[in-house]
Amino acid sequence: MKSIAVIDYGMGNLHSVAKALEHVCPDTRVYVTNDAAKIEASDRVLLPGVGAIRDCMAEIKRLGVDQIVADQMGKKPMLGICVGMQALMQHSSENGGVECLGQLPGEVAFFGDQPTVKAAHLKVPHMGWNQVKQQPHSLWNGIEDNSRFYFVHSYYVRTNQRDLVAATCNYGLDFDVALARENLFAVQFHPEKSHSAGLQLLQNFLQWDGS
Amino acid sequence: MGLAKRIIPCLDVNNGRVVKGVQFVDIRDAGDPVEVAKRYNEQGADEITFLDIGATHENRDTMVHTVEKMASEVFIPLTVGGGIRTCEDIRRMLNAGADKVGINSAAVFNPDFVQQAAGRFGAQCIVVAIDAKQVSSPGETPRWEIFTHGGRKPTGIDAVEWAIKMVDYGAGEILLTSMDQDGVKNGYDLGVTRTISDAVSVPVIASGGVGNLDHLVDGVTKGKADAVLAASIFHFNEYSIPEAKQYMASKGIEMRL
């Protein structure tokens, strides 16, 4: 039986993502765990996350999840979601500045500081269903370009390495909502809360061989 | 092209059943909550809000069980409110599968609870629910106060100042219900909705009073709400969610169709 490890570092609601994975692939075993051996033995890894980055990074380090992520990187398909994506970047400006895992080049910035966001009086957090402009990648199979996904975040990712960008979105400014490198895929939105488009993406991930 | 305005059907739940009353009395049965939520999910609702209007412990256990069942079948955001008083209550609802919790009376009695909850679970999952009632007379500068206990108890707190304070304390969203309008189907209180939406940086959900689709449109265009919540027009099949979305889109509002 195929298996996926949802890394549990004590932050947020892992029930939603586990239920969504079970729903799209009843024949995949879903482990919600921070046990290194179990994660090592799984076919795929999912790094979720909600909440504030400082607390997330503190728990990631306390539980040794930083080492686990580094060990699994490149070995098997990995999906980062929301703060899980942000944690993979180099640095976040949240909570007065936090060093992140540095697995992906780029930083995490605050919407509320951006002049175009302020000028348009846009609400922060960016909350709700927004359109996602895809770049070619097999995780978008069966999902129409510009489909809407559910977002809830006040900080966003930006990278200068444009060849890593797998999707963008606009909210006062264009920003990066999916990054892909080899067998790593990371998204800012919540596929587990994005109805059919989100469930399709999770199913694609569970079938993805990482290339 | 951009962020869509949201339609949120609201399920008032008591003893494991969806109910709907007029100004919190005269309750009608509207079905099994999981079945109702599944129907809205299939119809394209953008989120679901689930309010526990009973206050007993038995009711609370039923709620947790219902949220668990719902979260296994409904893959859109789920907010659970009613009787959320402690971080333990929040943890329990999030573990059951809720994405956000609505805090109402507990915030009034202990505003620090909002700060504590936002610090622990993140602002994105803390919705502060405000029940507001107009207290100014016609002709005066409009003023609204917040009420607790289902609109029965006045607090003397100004609703606009309260909303600003709650956002400072970490609320990620405001669910604003007009007690004057709730259940009477004359449309949202657009004055308080617009005033609060202009005053805070976070999204505001308009609630209370929807009787037809123009009320939803007005909530966004005149009330400047980021999301519109309604119950009875959907529960009793007066309008479907797709119909409401099409209508709002036809009025130039960005919707997820």
DSSP codes joined into one string, B232-249: HHHHTTSS-HHHHHHHHH
Detail the DSSP E strand segments found in chain A: 2-7, 28-33, 44-47, 78-81, 91-92, 98-99, 107-110, 126-131, 133-134, 148-153, 155-158, 165-170, 174-181, 184-187
> In the structure, what pLDDT confidence band is assigned to residue A139 with cuts at 50, 70 and 90?
very high
**Per-residue pLDDT in tens (0 to 9) along chain B, 257 residues:** 699 999 999 998 888 888 875 555 556 777 899 999 999 999 999 999 999 887 677 777 888 999 999 999 999 999 999 889 999 999 899 888 899 999 998 999 999 999 999 988 888 899 999 999 999 998 999 999 999 877 788 899 999 999 999 999 999 999 999 988 777 789 999 999 999 999 999 999 999 999 999 999 999 999 999 999 998 899 888 899 999 999 999 999 999 99
Whole-model pTM? 0.95
Q: Residues B206, B56, B30, A198: what is their CA dihedral angle, to the nearest 10 degrees? A: 60
Q: Residues A130, A133, A135, A139: what is their CA dihedral angle, to the nearest 10 degrees? A: 30
Provide ipTM, 2 decimals: 0.93
Residue contact A16–B97, C-beta within 8 A: yes
Q: How confident is the model at residue B21, as a pLDDT?
A: 57
Lowest mean pLDDT among A49-58, A89-98, B164-173: A49-58
CB B5 within 8 A of CB B228: yes
Residue contact A192–B76, C-beta within 8 A: no
Q: How confident is the model at residue A118, as a pLDDT?
A: 94
Residue contact B75–A170, C-beta within 8 A: no
The span from the CA of B103 to the CA of B106, in Å, is: 6
Q: How confident is the model at residue A1, as a pLDDT?
A: 87
Partners of B92 on chain A (C-beta within 8 Å) are none
Q: How confident is the model at residue B180, as a pLDDT?
A: 84
Residue contact B124–A50, C-beta within 8 A: yes
The span from the CA of A59 to the CA of A49, in Å, is: 11
Residue A130, min C-alpha distance to chain B (Å): 4
Residue of chain A whose alpha carbon sits nearest to that of B48: A193
Partners of B46 on chain A (C-beta within 8 Å) are 128-129
A15 Cβ under 8 Å from any chain B Cβ:
yes
Characterize the bridge pairing of strands B227-230 and A148-153.
Answer: unpaired
The span from the CA of A177 to the CA of A152, in Å, is: 12
Chain A interface mutation, best of B124, B127, B196, B241, highest count of A Cβ atoms under 10 Å: B124
Partners of A19 on chain B (C-beta within 8 Å) are 71-72, 97
CA B134: distance to chain centroid?
18
Q: How confident is the model at residue A14, as a pLDDT?
A: 81
Q: How confident is the model at residue B20, as a pLDDT?
A: 74
Residue B139, min C-alpha distance to chain A (Å): 30
User: Average of pLDDT values for A204-211?
Assistant: 92
Q: How confident is the model at residue B31, as a pLDDT?
A: 86
User: Average of pLDDT values for A51-55?
Assistant: 86
Q: Which residues of B form the catalytic set?
A: 12, 131
